[in-house]
Amino acid sequence: MLQYVLKVAITAIVVVAVAETAKRSTVWAALVASLPLTSLLAFVWMHLDGATSEQIASLSSGILWLVVPSLLFFIALPVLLRAGWPFWPSMLASSAVTAAAYLATLWAFHRWGAGG
């Protein structure tokens, strides 16, 4: 139980650090947020929980392929905001575009036997 609480606390600290850094410098916050911190934490937690090297490698490969559709969010959001869309509709539309891209990517993986 203590290990679970530690995992949640460290993960929360990373998210809060990005949000607080953004108040002072969006460039530094973007740098921290763009690091694969979530992935690194997941790999460490998996290793500490006894996952095999193959399981960690498989997750890493899956993340690589799913980074591509996730980039659409970071294209759509600033485009919509700069076009004058309000924040919440921009977030919703960007998330919808990203979800559609994820579904298309997963469908392609299934169709051609690629991915995890």
Can you tell me whether residue 35 is helix, strand or coil? coil
Beta-carbon contacts of 29 under 8 Å, excluding residues fewer than 6 positions away, are: 18, 19, 21, 22
Q: Residue 35 has what pLDDT?
A: 78
Overall pTM surpassing 0.85 (yes/no): no
pLDDT in tens, 55-104: 999 999 888 888 889 999 999 999 999 999 999 999 999 999 999 999 99
Domain definitions of the chain by residue range: 1-51, 52-116
pLDDT of residue 115: 54
- Residue 114, pLDDT > 90, answer no
Average pLDDT, the chain: 90
Cα–Cα dist 40/36, whole Å: 6
